[in-house]
Structure 1
Amino acid sequence: MNIHILGICGTLMGSIAILAKETGAQVSGSDEHIYPPMSDQLQAAGIEIYEGYSDTSVPEGTDLVILGNAGLGRGNPAVEHLLRHNIPFISGAEWLGTYLLRDRWVIAIAGTHGKTTTASMVAWILDYAGMEPGYLIGGVPQNFSVSSRNGSHPFFVIEADEYDTSYFDRRSKFLHYFPQTLVMNNLEFDHADIFDTLEDIKRQFHQLVRTVPEHGLIIHPNDDVNLLDVLDRGCWTETQTFLAKPLDSHHPSVNKAEQLPQSDLSITSTSDDFSRFTVTSNGYELMVHWNLRGRHNLHNALAALSAARHAGVPLATGCAALCEFSGVKRRMEIIYENQDVVVYDDFAHHPTAIESDLDGLRRSLQTDDLLIAVIEPASHTMRSGIHQRELTAATAAADHTLWLEPANIGWDMQTLVSHRSHVHSTPREIINHLDTLFKGSTRRCHIALMSNGSFQNLREDLSAHLS
């Protein structure tokens, strides 16, 4: 089969291209923006890429077009060409569900936060156990060289996104995957460009619950009030729970449910920076010592261990695998370091993720180290201002916070200004301010660059400046 992919350099579509190639299809693709790391992965796989969209984007002899989501709607010349000439096309998520996942044991990782990291953990645990799983992950796992592979039957680990499927299918992508094992990691409001309220997202998550077979398993934290609400609407599948933090009588989930079910997997002790922790199940305790930091990663670890255990991996093997888990690119990834300064690249773009990532980093530093958060509120939800009241508290672990104001911001970022928080309009202003903070300081400085956007090339400019 000859397949052409529109939007091939996006994380999902590029990963689909590699998977389609592994199934034996002839694959090519087009995109407006061709850039690493995805372009490098595609070229290494022998996939030809064409730049731009036009009515000649789809090569002659193409049997099926797989259509991405970003910028690929009515009015796009390539899309209009498909419709005009009745060329068969399908969304990326539907192609996965129809052509790749139908006969697989799908392990789907859903939730507002931690999908990429948790999916990477599950794939690594299964691989460590010798199962050679397939996987599709919306990032680059450090334990693997690529973001997707077909693997061996039956297991396939997929990052299950609640974002809509395509211009012609507004359902969440994860409704196409039909998992045997479903992890719902957490649930908060996000994606304000397609969801008006948290209730809209809950409805999509309940639709996902309805796709898991009776003999499958749904894994969730027992202290997430929004997920408990979703499951209260009807669940036809066995559930298992985990808990990564102690509860007290003031916890909102306790107030809602009066008494939480006992967790099937829990954390009983941790080091201050969460690099060591003890996993407990039915009185059985195992220690994990790994390179990750932050309480949120304990949460992700328990979810991953639970999913892997459902696939047949003993808990001891799962914990041993986590001790060798290297993380994911752009999740507090060190991109520059000298004796005075360390620069981290982080994907956090929601107050909850910003807070947990900064707290985790702070706990790993020396007492007198300086922590500076540099944040670009680039996502649609952040630019809309929905979370603006939460941002100051989210950055409490940082000594200083510098904000890079994006274009088309929907609120006044000057409301964030204080003696330790400043707003800038260009990367050069950020770099100049950092120079001022460095000047005369004897403290080792840690700079966390936090955004899911381009950062107006700040990552590269700052690394070059420091060099």
Structure 2
Amino acid sequence: MSQIHQKIHIIAIGGAVMSSLAIALKKKGMTVSGSDDKIYDPAASLLNENGLLPTQMGWNANLIDNSLDAVIVGMHAKADNPELLKAQALGIKIWSYPAFIRSQSDDKQRIVIAGSHGKTTITGSIIHVLNYWNRDFDYVVGAKIKGIEETIKLSDAPIIVIEGDEYFTSPLDLEPKFLKYDHHIALISGTAWDHINVYPTEDSYLAQFEKLANQTPKAGSLIYCTEDAYAKKIATKERTDVKADPYETPNYKVKNGRFYLNEETPVKLFGKHNMQNLEGARTLLKRIGISRAQFYEAIASFEGAYKRNNLLSENSNTAVYTDFAHAPSKLEATANALKELHPNRNLIACYELHTFSSLNKAFLGNYKDTFKAPNEAIVFFDQKLIEEKNYTAINEEDIRKAFNRKDIQVFTDSTQLQAHLLRKDWKNQNLIFMSSGTFGGLDLGSIANTITK
């Protein structure tokens, strides 16, 4: 491993990944400080527990001086951030998050999991299986995985497994993060246009995945899902001495509200898309010495990522779930998964338009026909957020037309949405909330308990 700096300041420490990195570096014995203009839970609590929560919110150039070995800057910071400008003026080494991770993995086999959807589940399942068999490896994953204490591990292990996204590297580097890791093995789960604020056209978005594939070195591997047309197209392009490993949805069955991989291995995840994700993980693990039998033994105890297909509460005929779905492909896969899990129950699905892309009127058409599975489809968005961000106004008819579903119910008031849900007879009906936001601050756990009590 390359030499590690001993005194580090992290600009924008409050993000999920940046806060995890700060904690990992402190546990390695470094002196770590940080700043941010806003920090929310769970990051705030985790930083506080580790003595890393900034005493004041906001940016302060006085935190930057020549005693620092390096500064790591997160994407939440802007190019004119006063701390970043001070570090540049003093000539202090400035790392982006992915470049720093790369600097700590010179002597490792680098494995990158990419894709518009599924990458957290695939990365998490790989981590789970390697842990189950006591393999020595490092990892970086973008969300908390059930049963795994940290989201980042950096050591002298010979392998590192990295969840790599296509978003910008830093305010100073507008290349995708996943291009910074110099992978030996890459997996592309699937492609579906997202991040319209970064990639204004679908072609500009998809081009990033082709760059990743082209970066695969000689004797490297490119694993891809054959059921995604673009992933298949770019992965099967001729590349000298690069092995392309395809995977597809494996055989599975659903029995008594439980999914079985290979028709005999019970798993705790559900939905066709998750069976596909697990097959991607199995295909990759095969490349690094995990047999089919070892995979199936280990995967039975994998519980998935927090906020993904999360069961809030249930009784004998109703279950309430949340999911981090925040893009058209994720919305469709999650809703279909719940219908598959409980085919004899009605599904009421609530989806919040929350991201820049989903609140962009020009992007809404990408939701066409993705919300067909629920018996009752509900869309929520915060009108104040649209006004605050100065986005083009959208109305109920825009949403119904975009989703191509005339009976969609649209709410812009969270209290009215809650009242609507609590008035219902929930016998033989399931409910799911899907968002990367908070549904206007609704206490989803309380609603779930009220419905199922």
- TM-score, structure 1 as length reference: 0.85
Partner of 1:352: 329
| Match 1:276 to one of 256, 260, 267 | 260
Partner of 1:401: 377
What code does the residue aligned with 1:160 have?
A: G
Deviation at 1:304, TM superposition (A): 0.3
Contact 1:375 1:404 in 2 (8 A): yes
Contact 2:235 2:244 in 1 (8 A): no
Contact 2:224 2:235 in 1 (8 A): no
What code does the residue aligned with 1:362 have?
A: K
| Match 1:174 to one of 162, 175, 178 | 178
Change (3 A) 1:59 1:455: farther
Query: 1:72-97 CA distances to partner (integer Å, 9 max, x unpaired)?
Result: 11333333333344433221111111
Contact 2:312 2:445 in 1 (8 A): no
Write out aligned runs for 1:32-431 (5 A).
Answer: 32-50=37-55, 51-58=57-64, 61-70=67-76, 72-98=77-103, 100-150=104-154, 153-231=157-235, 234-236=238-240, 237-244=242-249, 267-271=250-254, 275-278=259-262, 287-337=264-314, 342-365=319-342, 367=344, 369-391=345-367, 393-406=369-382, 407-408=385-386, 410=392, 412-415=394-397, 416-417=399-400, 420-431=407-418
Contact 2:193 2:206 in 1 (8 A): no
Change (3 A) 1:462 1:78: farther
Query: 1:68-126 CA distances to partner (integer Å, 9 max, x unpaired)?
Result: 002x113333333333444332211111112x222211221100000111100011111
Query: 1:226-251 CA distances to partner (integer Å, 9 max, x unpaired)?
Result: 1233235553311111111xxxxxxx
The 2-side partners of 1:25 and 1:215 are apart by 36
Change (3 A) 1:181 1:431: same
Deviation at 1:363, TM superposition (A): 1.8
Unaligned runs of 5+ in 2: 1-5
Deviation at 1:442, TM superposition (A): 5.4
Most deviating of 235-244 and 323-332: 235-244
Contact 2:73 2:95 in 1 (8 A): yes
- TM-score, structure 2 as length reference: 0.88
What code does the residue aligned with 1:295 have?
A: K
Change (3 A) 1:119 1:449: same
Query: 1:52-75 CA distances to partner (integer Å, 9 max, x unpaired)?
Result: 2222344772221100002x1133
The 1-side partners of 2:136 and 2:64 are apart by 34
The 2-side partners of 1:12 and 1:135 are apart by 12
Query: 1:360-409 CA distances to partner (integer Å, 9 max, x unpaired)?
Result: 11222261x34221111111221113553353622222122222123225
Aligned pair count?
A: 432
Partner of 1:256: none
What code does the residue aligned with 1:435 have?
A: L
The 2-side partners of 1:442 and 1:187 are apart by 36
The 1-side partners of 2:33 and 2:312 are apart by 32
Contact 2:184 2:221 in 1 (8 A): yes
What code does the residue aligned with 1:157 have?
A: V
Query: SS in structure 1 opposite 2:54?
Result: strand
Change (3 A) 1:234 1:82: farther
Partner of 1:264: none
Unaligned runs of 5+ in 1: 245-266, 279-285
What code does the residue aligned with 2:427 have?
A: R
Deviation at 1:456, TM superposition (A): 2.2
The 2-side partners of 1:375 and 1:104 are apart by 41
Contact 1:163 1:173 in 2 (8 A): yes
Query: SS in structure 2 opposite 1:389?
Result: helix
Change (3 A) 1:73 1:342: same
The 1-side partners of 2:66 and 2:314 are apart by 49
Deviation at 1:341, TM superposition (A): 5.3
Partner of 1:435: 422
Contact 1:135 1:151 in 2 (8 A): no
Change (3 A) 1:309 1:170: same
Query: SS in structure 1 opposite 2:357?
Result: helix
The 2-side partners of 1:331 and 1:24 are apart by 33
Change (3 A) 1:60 1:456: farther
Percent of matched pairs sharing the same residue? 24
Deviation at 1:274, TM superposition (A): 7.0
Change (3 A) 1:52 1:442: closer
Query: 1:129-169 CA distances to partner (integer Å, 9 max, x unpaired)?
Result: 11042211111100212222225511211111011111110
Give the alignment's Cα RMSD to 1 decimal. Answer: 2.5
Query: SS in structure 2 opposite 1:83?
Result: helix
The 1-side partners of 2:299 and 2:83 are apart by 44
Contact 2:236 2:244 in 1 (8 A): no
Change (3 A) 1:464 1:270: closer
The 1-side partners of 2:442 and 2:291 are apart by 44
Deviation at 1:208, TM superposition (A): 1.5
Query: SS in structure 2 opposite 1:9?
Result: coil
Deviation at 1:444, TM superposition (A): 4.0
